[in-house]
Amino acid sequence: QVQLVQSGAEVKNPGASVKVSCKASGYSFTSYAIHWVRQAPGQGLECMGWISAGDDYTRYSQKFQGRVTMTTDTSASTAYMELSGLRSEDTAVYFCARRGLGGFTYYDSWGQGTLVTVSS
């Protein structure tokens, strides 16, 4: 079955960077895109951008442009999201999600989430 397994929780100082991994299994990794979505404590969901695992094409939400980098390692079926210049407002659970196939964008499988805490 399709599974996305993310790396563990992180605690970072303001100004630092964090890199979250998302290991996929149960499907052809390069046939799908991976999206990253975050959720601040008690808040809603926010899309950060996505990467096409087949050709590493990326699109980032304007809010995160310049601070986020999404990459993949196809040999390990793993996607990565790196966020730099961390501030307290970046404290959130970060999810990776697989975009379903077809003409509409939707997330049919999700990772379990990675809590990133930014605190001095």
Partner 1 sequence: DIQMTQSPSFLSASVGDRVTITCRASQGISRYLNWYQQKPGKAPKLLIYAASYLQSGVPSRFSGGGSGTDFTLTISSLQREDFATYFCQQSYSDPQFTFGPGTKVDMK
- 65-79 residues labelled b (16+ CB within 10 A) or e (exposed): eebbbbebeeeebbb
For partner 1, the closer of residues 16 and 28 by Cβ is 28
Q: Contact, 36 vs 94, CB < 8 A?
A: yes
Site size toward partner 1, by CB under 8 A: 23
> Given candidates 7, 10, 30, 46, which one binds partner 1 under the rule CB under 8 A?
46
For partner 1, the closer of residues 13 and 42 by Cβ is 42
Interacting span for partner 1 (CB under 8 A) from 7-15, 17-25, 60-68, 79-87: 60-68
Assess 105 for contact with partner 1 (CB under 8 A).
yes
Instruction: Phi first, then psi: give them for residue 117, nearest 5 degrees.
Output: -110, 125
Length of the chain: 120
Q: How far apart are CB 24 and partner 1 at their closest, in Å?
A: 14
Q: Contact, 2 vs 26, CB < 8 A?
A: yes
For partner 1, the closer of residues 62 and 120 by Cβ is 62
